[in-house]
Chain A
Amino acid sequence: QGQLLIDKGVRPLSLAGHVGFDSLPDQLVNKSICQGFCFNILCIGETGIGKSTLMDTLFNTNFENFESSHFEPQVKLRAQTYDLQESNVRLRLTVVNTVGFGDQMNKQESYQPVVDYIDRQFESYLQEELKIKRSLHNYHDSRVHACLYFISPSGHSLKSLDLVTMKKLDSKVNIIPVIAKADTISKSELHKFKIKIMSELVSNGVQIYQFPLDDETVAKVNTTMNGHLPFAVVGSTEEVSVGNKMVKARQYPWGVVQVENENHCDFVKLREMLICVNMEDLREQTHTRHYELYRRCKLEEMGFKDTGPESKPVSLQQTYEAKRQEFLVELQKREDEMRQMFVQRVKEKESELKEAERELQSRFEQLKRLHADEKAALEEKKRLLDEDQSSFSKRRAAAQLLQAQSLTANGKKDKDRKK
């Protein structure tokens, strides 16, 4: 039929003129603009630490939040999705907040709902990817792209809950730790606090998200920012007049903490890094690292392998088919078993019934015999009685005759005497 010859080794070629495929990135970007973007942020932190306020401040809107109570029996997650637009970019933003985190007496299971939520999003993406008829380009990606972990501004060190939670999450999501309510810490305390936090993270082996350094355009700013982690943030949606401008700030009797002033807090750095510089990288890391890890583990757990028992490559399809056949055979077997059991039971019941019938029959026979016996006995008695009666009547007749004879004989005697 046909032959296939592929040239190994791709050679570089120089162009003699302008071809025009430099417009490819633009074509790609245009397509993305039409499709819109998706970004999902998970905020973990204690109740009242300022998660919702920070989100409002970051995205310059009011996300319709309400205060949660401190008396939640378990940690829950609340996810809300919004459509935002800036110039020609449409963003579908999902903000997931923990509710009741850190409020329980026993916090051993606090991390579990968060892990479950993240896994659930991976799972539904995996399901869509494995479907036969799928629509991946239309799929609303709900996987968590960035996780902001809010650290309490105690000024000392991380809490054990923080370490435990972050350790459980670092292989599933990009963790960006932030120090919340940073206006309660002084500058020198903050510096010491940051160093303590980072060293604790390192000594406990927690892998937080590092801003990527492979692209020269942003490598420099990312390196600097990596050194400022964790960001100490202050959130505020209220505006205070400073100078002749209205800025987002918190007003205290002793001064005004301006959110967007880099001397006051790291809010601007967080916004830069999270949105302006690395949003795409966060999405990509989620897809190529965290999701792939989840997928690999899940499939291996289900028993799929890339190589079969003889180390020959076994496709997912084959393994799936093999498992499916196993399952169907098992199903068939169980069906047969059930059918057999049913037949067995029917037989048993039948024999039981037959037994009962027989018993009944024998009882009947017995009673009949009894009845017959009694009848016979009665008949016998009757016969005896009849016999008795007949013999009695015979004797009576005989006696009567005798009496009659004796009477006539006496009469004759008397007659004879009289002569």
Chain B
Amino acid sequence: MRMSIKLTTQAYCKMLLHAAKYPHCAVNGLLVAEKQKEKKKDSHSTPILCVDCIPLFHGTLALAPMLEVALTLIDTWCKENKYVIAGYYQANERTKDFRPNQVSEKVGARIAENFSEAAMIMVDSTRFTMGCYEPILAIYDHHENKWKCRDCNVDSFDDWCEAQKITSALLEGRSYESLIDFDNHLDDLRNDWTNPEINKSVLHLC
């Protein structure tokens, strides 16, 4: 039975903040989960909890070198923090375009090579509001080399009410202005793609 994926507030929040920071660009990033100690083979498997999100790029997503650098660096960071790269998200440049494309499928497949339960998430910008009244993601699972869309509802979240409340608050407060993605890091190494300040804000509001 396929394990379902769940998102924490911090993960969902940073994804949306990234999309909000660059409304005129495509954006993408990674989702990380805590590394499971043993594989549970029973049918009631615990869902994979994506605890954090690492925003990667904005603008042109279809170039390889910096993506490979990011994957490698983040993979190492994950190992040091007992995380594993568990998913990939993307928001396309055009609002009405929320279907996966070649980039998302390729990166998703690469992640799935290392983590079989990897999820590919597309952000539906047509439903993106400040109030965040509904989850705006489409979650895709990798099945026999194809990506199949799974229904995303409040059950895909660790605590939807909290996620909704906090994401909305941070959007209103324009926290996205201080969100750092990997592109920002490459522009200035002091920019921290783990976004500790935003993480603190999320905790503070919990």
A interacts with B: no
- Residue positions of B touching A, CB distance < 8 A: none
Interface residues of A (CB under 8 A from B): none
